[in-house]
Amino acid sequence: MLGLAACPGVGPPVDLGPGADAGPAGGGICPSGILPTFSSINSQLFQVSCGIGTGSCHSAMGSVFSGGLDLQSNPYAALVNQPANNIAGSKTGLIRVKPGDPANSFLLIKLATTTGSDPNYGSGMPFGSPGQVCAQARGVIAQWIDGGALNN
């Protein structure tokens, strides 16, 4: 089963790729074999589930509508120690990925947010299916961040 997500102002739903299931029956987007390394998280989650290949959401072109987060050009540099542009929420001073601090990393907050209109953080991710990245994948991302968010 394939999952779909859509981004505001960018176009139709995006195919999340083979093996990705955005539906609740499938337990969400849960890449098999994902490891707590940036290369694994990037290749198995960001590059297939964030609208990169379709030119939407967090691609270079779509980032204009997605808080300025471009996960296509240089995803590591766009995430680690970078201020978050929280365009639909009231919280300020957020860091996208704060090495050693998964609880205060905006990336994990957005992935764990299950509503499309949280007053503090805006829409959960992926847009159109907030909170559908499975707990296992979020746990792997938390391990990577807790270990210093290395570019490995």
Confidence at residue 118, expressed as pLDDT on a 0 to 100 scale:
94
Q: Is the pTM of this model over 0.85?
A: no
Q: Which of 100, 75, 88, 96 is nearest to 124 (CA)?
A: 88
What was the pLDDT predicted at 12?
36
Q: How many domains does the chain have?
A: 1
pLDDT one digit per residue (tens) for the chain, 152 residues: 233 344 444 333 333 333 333 433 345 899 999 999 999 999 999 999 888 878 889 888 888 888 899 999 999 999 999 999 988 888 999 999 999 999 999 999 999 999 999 999 999 999 888 999 999 999 999 999 999 999 99
* Contact status, residue 16 vs residue 9, Cβ threshold 8 Å: no
124 vs 111: CA distance, rounded Å: 6
CB 15 within 8 A of CB 4: yes
Residue 75: domain span: 1-152
Specify the pLDDT at position 134.
Answer: 95
Q: What is the per-residue pLDDT for 64?
A: 85
> What are the tokens at 3?
């999952």
- Listing DSSP states for the chain in one string gives ---EE--TTT-S-EE--TT---SGGGTSB--TT--SSHHHHIIIIIHHHSSTTTT-TTSTTGGGGTTT--TTT-HHHHHBT-B---TTSS--S-BSB-TT-GGGBHHHHHHH--SS-BTTTBS-SSTTSTT-B-HHHHHHHHHHHHTT----
